[in-house]
């Protein structure tokens, strides 16, 4: 199957990410105590004030900032901005107590409810899906070593063009998205294709910041996962491939040594063995 390729825009991708966030992530916000809101808001503002004083920010720079903040909202890029430049520190603080697997950021492109493929299966993909075939095996256990039968492994990743289904045109709804359920031994086997590195959208406000600062916009190739089991903490992670030139300078600062895979050649494709250890809730 072939499709006509249309380049996604930052505005369209940002709008999709914003709507998905509103649907999935805003429950419980109203329950945050006022004292906590006040403390966090004052801390952020004090950090901004300190930067202005330390760097002697001019009115021209201040107005440029205001214009840029307005354009971030107009482009629908707040999910992208926060997930790329802020989330990795939130994740670090939120999971610093864990004894099991290391995690990392979720990013803006997660969609719940991906098709179930059992303990062994192939992710939904186009008949002519480009990319090196990849077979991933592993097991899910608790920190005491007990296998977690029925653990859920939600997988999603970009295609060879760096595009995510439901956030880019012309892709099937669940392309390269699936849910797997570990067997009685906690094991799973996933068949997919190796993703490619990609640039975050650069035609919107975030791209303007990147250009103005002289940064790059690249993310290394990665597999996204959410791993869950009853009575255990949810693990959100991204898994990376050795040799990617942007492992060391990921724009999202999300790469960790513990998340690096070790692919082995296997016929026309590759195999990887990587499992998960979940902390008890």
pLDDT (tens digit per residue) in 8-51 = 666 566 666 667 676 666 655 667 899 999 999 999 999 999 99
Sign of CA dihedral 168, 172, 176, 178: positive
Q: What is the DSSP letter of 223?
A: E
- CA dist 170 and 21 (Å) reads 22
Kindly report the pTM of this predicted structure.
0.86
Q: Which residues does 269 contact at the CB level (< 8 Å), separation at least 6?
A: 132, 133, 134, 135
Chain centroid to CA 195: 13
Residue 75 is classified by DSSP as T
Among residues 78, 213, 81, 238, the alpha carbon closest in space to that of 246 is found at 238
Find out whether 263 and 241 touch, Cβ atoms under 8 Å: yes
Which residue intervals of 59-146 are DSSP H helices? Answer: 59-74, 78-85, 87-94
CB atoms within 10 A of CB 187: 18
Query: What is the DSSP code string of 24-47?
Result: HS-TTGGGS-HHHHHHHHHHHHHH
Residue ranges of domains in the chain, CATH in brackets: 9-281 (2.60.130.10)
* pLDDT tens for each residue of 209-244: 999 999 999 999 999 999 999 999 999 999 999 999
């Amino acid at each position: 199957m072939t499709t006509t390729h249309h380049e996604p825009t930052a505005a369209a991708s940002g709008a999709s990410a914003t709507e998905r966030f509103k649907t999935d992530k805003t429950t419980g916000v109203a329950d945050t105590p006022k004292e906590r809101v006040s403390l966090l808001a004052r801390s952020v503002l004090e950090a901004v004030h300190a930067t202005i004083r330390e760097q002697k920010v001019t009115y021209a720079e201040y107005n440029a900032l205001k214009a840029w903040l307005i354009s971030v909202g107009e482009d629908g890029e707040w999910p992208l901005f926060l997930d790329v430049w802020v989330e990795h520190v939130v994740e670090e603080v939120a999971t610093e107590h864990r004894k099991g697997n290391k995690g990392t950021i979720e990013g803006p492109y997660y969609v719940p409810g991906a098709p179930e493929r059992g303990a062994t299966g192939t992710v939904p993909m186009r008949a002519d899906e480009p990319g090196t075939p990849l077979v991933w095996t592993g097991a899910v256990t608790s920190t005491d070593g007990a296998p977690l039968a029925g653990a859920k492994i939600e997988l999603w990743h970009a295609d060879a063009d760096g595009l995510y289904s439901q956030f880019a045109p012309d892709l099937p709804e669940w392309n390269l998205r699936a849910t797997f359920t570990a067997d009685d031994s906690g094991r799973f086997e996933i068949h997919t294709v190796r993703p490619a590195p990609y640039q975050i959208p650069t035609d919107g406000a975030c791209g303007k910041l990147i250009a103005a600062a002289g940064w790059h916009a690249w993310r290394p190739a990665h597999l996204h996962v959410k791993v869950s089991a009853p009575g255990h903490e949810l693990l959100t992670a991204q898994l990376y491939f050795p040799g990617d030139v942007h492992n060391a300078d990921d724009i999202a600062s999300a790469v960790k040594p513990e998340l690096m895979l070790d692919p082995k050649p296997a016929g026309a494709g590759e195999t990887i063995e990587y499992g998960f250890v979940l902390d008890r809730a």
